Amino acid sequence: MSKILGIDLGTTNSAVAVIEGGEPKILENVEGNRTTPSIVALSKANERLVGLLAKRQSVTNPKNTIFSVKRLMGRKFSDPEVARDKEWLSYDVQAGAAGGIEVKMGDKFYSPEEISAAILSKLKADAEAKLGEKVDEAVITVPAYFDDSQRQATKNAGEIAGLKVRRIINEPTAAALAYGLNKQKNEKIVVYDFGGGTFDISVLEVGDDVVEVKSTGGDTHLGGDDFDKKIQEYLVDEYKKQEGIDISKDSLALQRLKEAAEKAKHELSTAMETEVNLPFITSDANGPKHFLIKLSRAKLESLVQEYIDHSIQLTKDTVTAAAPKGAGFKISDINEVVLVGGQTRMPAVQEAVKKLFGKDPHQGINPDEVVALGAAVQAGILQGDVKDILLLDVTPLSLSIETYGAVATPMIQKNTTVPTAKTQVFSTAADNQTSVEVHVLQGERPMAADNKTLARFILDGIPPSPRGLPQVEVTFDIDANGILNVSAKDKGTGKTQSVKIEASTNLSKEEVERFTKEAAEHAVEDAKKKELVDARNHAESTIYLAEKSMKDAGDKLPEDVKASITEKLEDLKKAKEGDDASVIQSALDALSTELQKIGQAVYNKDTAAEDNQTNTAENNQDAPNEPGSESH
Amino acid sequence: MTEEQNDNKISELDELKNALAETEKTRDEYLAGWQRAKADFVNYKKDERKHFDDAVKYGIEGIIRDMIGVLDTFDLAIKMLEKEGHMDKGIYLIRSQIEDILKKRGVEKIPVKQGDPFDPGIMEAMAEIESEQSPGTVIEEIEPGYRLYDKIVRASRVIIGKAIGIS
């Protein structure tokens, strides 16, 4: 069965996704981009162009370049919205058959469906090229406020493009699907979609896998482009103040400034300040002029605050106003908030939404792609790809084993897809240790005691030997049902012990949240504790090494070296008892430096002895015990 | 065997047959799912290989884009300094150094010259002016276009001509 495409047919840009391996993914177009401009044109050479190519010639061919056709889909020519849009659209719009609309491209008139079909045809062809197989079915998204005739028009466009439209779904529903929110029980969801040219707000209610639109709102003429324009105007004004030159009259300079404004906006989503640096922007009688203006995040925010405030007011209205204008909910009724659209990358927008609802919005999926990805999820459900039996679970929390110093050493990290297995070899911590305790833990905290104990068992019968020599192989194996098998095997004797833990993945949402929250809250003190334990463990092994080395070197060690090592050794032992990691570390460093003298002393003595006998043994003297030294 | 016993046997057999058919159906379903998952995985691995190669090849696209911006201003600087008449050969050498570095990384300037017909596949029309040249051809390249291997990182920005007297 061929794949079903998930298509986000946007006002400005469109995107396509499919399900692969149970996960939705975006398909790049032939130009190598993840989104395609929703533009169709008839070029001056009489060629039909779609997407980026149409955009590239739009400036010089505005009459025959059709953009924003989504605004006209399924509308009547008499609609007030059409009258308004007609004013600013650069191409001709006229009344068509049965009160519909036609747009002019070249000498011919086309219905908005035909234009949308041209976009869909390209998306289909590019997807086929990418997938290497034919595709003839699709799920297409539309705004939640689209009425029946607008939906029907979208469906027709798909059919004209040779796509069987399996379903038309709402954009906010698709976004919620992409985040898996359809699985929730009786939740109220707000989708805040701030795109390039439109702002849409939708209130959804989910229950039993059914998503219902409760209300929609927004502003069809507010978007990220308005932000760009504001920045551009500000920069032009500032430059006028600074240099007395109005660059808004210079089309090339203005083009450079436009790009720089957009770039600055993007940069200010991560940086607190950026520099708009455009050397040789123009020239006057005194020679070349340069453009250099610093723009801070705070300045950007103050420039566009009115837009953000407006969007928040609209959101409030859509949620709280009585039906039919709003959903008639209280703000506090809302369980989840989803962000869609490139403009929601702006930290001030995220903050404003968070402040309104008092909770963190869902983000993490690229806001430009989330709708197409959600459409692919719906396509996958129709296709039967996303079947419950094939849904693989993940371990909600890390599974660890307690190691020396009461440290929780992770064996399987949280969010690992099961079934999975991991094996690691451990050893003993003391000389002549004949048994090891395997303590299985669950949780994100670095210290064993702060995590949940799942099981404990003892592997004994290890032959007495120096610490670090025995090899105990521990295996964590989780099957698809979340049953964890932990086994420990002494590689020397082959002796094995194991334990089975049922339902290790079966935690309630609250439990997982609590564990994760605790880990975050205690992150700093935990890190300190862990640092102390690590330092202590390191000290312990260095003390062990020092005592062993001194014993091995025996008489070869001069008394003064022995005395100074013993002194440093005692210092470290004392420091180890304390609770200050930095004190332990400095005592540790002092001892380590001192220890090198053992090697020197032994080496010098050996060399002196051998020098007396022969000069040819040099090859054998290359620090034989040093790891990494090559053997001759 | 009595008739009743016989009937019982038959209904038992039917039940077993049904159970077998049911089991076979689920088996086929599971097998198909397994095969699909496996095929997806094999394809994913192939894709991943290609993604990796592409990431190596095109991973520098961002920095190339930024570098192209610098080259543009460099060209502007050269143009202005040439006008003022105090240019040094060294400046051109620096420019060709930068271009060489980009070339080694697979970046090439898209050759566009005056009189070429406008091609939206590699060019972006920034403006249109009246000209005696044949309409729809390049009058001037404002900023050169660049290609990273076979991907257009930026189209060549051009001014194209239109017939005199037509608005």
Look at residue A504 in the predicted model and tell me its pLDDT. 59
Confidence label for A386 from pLDDT (cuts 50, 70 and 90): very low
A149 and A267 both lie in a single domain? no
Q: Which of A278, A302, A326 is the last residue of a domain?
A: A302
Higher-confidence position of A495 and B165: A495
Q: Which residues of B touch A385 (CB under 8 A)?
A: 36
- Could you give the strand order of the β-sheet that contains A101-105, starting from the edge strand earlier in sequence? A93-95, A101-105, A108-110
Look at residue A391 in the predicted model and tell me its pLDDT. 52
A19 and A140 both lie in a single domain? yes
Give the nearest partner residue to B80 out of A44, A288, A390, using CB atoms. A288
* Residue at A567 is within a domain: yes
CB pairs under 8 A between A and B: 67
Say how far apart CA A566 and CA A229 lie, in whole Å.
73
Any chain B CB within 8 A of the CB of A59? yes
Confidence label for A108 from pLDDT (cuts 50, 70 and 90): very high
H or E element at residue A30: none
* Residue at A497 is within a domain: yes
Confidence label for A330 from pLDDT (cuts 50, 70 and 90): very high
A444 and A461 both lie in a single domain? yes
Is A60 in contact with B155 (Cβ distance < 8 A)? no
Spatial contact of B158 and B138, defined as CB atoms under 8 Å apart: yes
Q: What's chain A's average pLDDT?
A: 87
Handedness of CA B16, B21, B22, B23 (dihedral sign): positive
CATH number for the domain spanning A571: value is: 1.20.1270.10
CATH number for the domain spanning A266: value is: 3.90.640.10
A173 and A68 both lie in a single domain? yes
Confidence label for A531 from pLDDT (cuts 50, 70 and 90): confident
CATH number for the domain spanning A132: value is: 3.30.420.40
* Residue at A625 is within a domain: no
Phi, psi angle pair for A464, to nearest 5°? -55, 130
A499 and A511 both lie in a single domain? yes
Distances from the Cα of A143 to the Cα of A61, A587, B32, angstroms: 29, 67, 36
* Residue at A475 is within a domain: yes
A113 and A242 both lie in a single domain? no
Domain that holds residue A533: 524-619
Total structural domains within chain A: 4
Spatial contact of A288 and B80, defined as CB atoms under 8 Å apart: yes
Give the nearest partner residue to A283 out of B80, B117, B118, using CB atoms. B80
Say how far apart CA A492 and CA A463 lie, in whole Å.
8
Any chain B CB within 8 A of the CB of A252? yes
The full DSSP string for A543-600 is HHHHHHHHHHHGGGS-HHHHHHHHHHHHHHHHHHHSS-HHHHHHHHHHHHHHHHHHHH
Is A255 in contact with B152 (Cβ distance < 8 A)? no
A497 and A614 both lie in a single domain? no
Candidates A486, A477, A504; CA nearest to A437 is A486
A556 and A595 both lie in a single domain? yes
Q: What is the pLDDT of residues B120-133, one digit of tens each?
A: 999 999 988 998 88
Question: Above 60 in pLDDT, residue A613?
Answer: no
* Residue at A190 is within a domain: no
| Min Cα separation B112/chain A (Å) | 15
Which residues have C-beta within 8 Å of that of residue B124, sequence separation ≥ 6?
A56, A57, B145, B155, B156, B157, B158
Which ipTM was obtained for this model? 0.75
A413 and A280 both lie in a single domain? no
Burial class from Cβ neighbours inside 10 Å (0-12, 13-18, 19+) for residue B131 reads middle
Confidence label for A24 from pLDDT (cuts 50, 70 and 90): very high
Look at residue A628 in the predicted model and tell me its pLDDT. 34
Say how far apart CA A386 and CA A384 lie, in whole Å.
6
Look at residue B167 in the predicted model and tell me its pLDDT. 52
A47 and A165 both lie in a single domain? yes
Look at residue B144 in the predicted model and tell me its pLDDT. 93
Q: What is the pLDDT of residues B52-82, one digit of tens each?
A: 888 888 888 889 988 898 888 888 888 888 8
Q: At B61, list the tokens.
A: 């696209």
A15 and A133 both lie in a single domain? yes
Q: What is the pLDDT of residues A293-310, one digit of tens each?
A: 999 999 999 999 999 999
Is A60 in contact with B128 (Cβ distance < 8 A)? yes
Look at residue B75 in the predicted model and tell me its pLDDT. 87
Q: What is the pLDDT of residues A415-429, one digit of tens each?
A: 777 778 899 999 998
Give the nearest partner residue to A56 out of B40, B120, B128, using CB atoms. B120
Spatial contact of A488 and A472, defined as CB atoms under 8 Å apart: yes
Q: Which of A273, A302, A331 is the last residue of a domain?
A: A302
* Residue at A501 is within a domain: yes
Say how far apart CA A36 and CA B140 lie, in whole Å.
28
Specify the DSSP class assigned to residue A624.
Answer: T
> Using a CB cutoff of 8 Å and minimum separation of 24, what contacts does A244-247 make?
A245/A282, A245/A284, A245/A289, A247/A281, A247/A282, A247/A291
pTM: predicted TM-score of the whole model, two decimal places:
0.69
Q: Please report the residues numbered 1 through 60 in chain B whose beta carbons come closer than 8 angstroms to any beta carbon of chain A.
A: 30, 33, 36-37, 40-41, 43-44, 58
Higher-confidence position of A459 and A509: A459
A404 and A487 both lie in a single domain? yes
Q: Which of A2, A26, A40, A60 to mutate to test the interface with B (most CBs of B within 10 A)?
A: A60
Catalytic residue numbers of A, as ranges: 8, 70, 171, 193
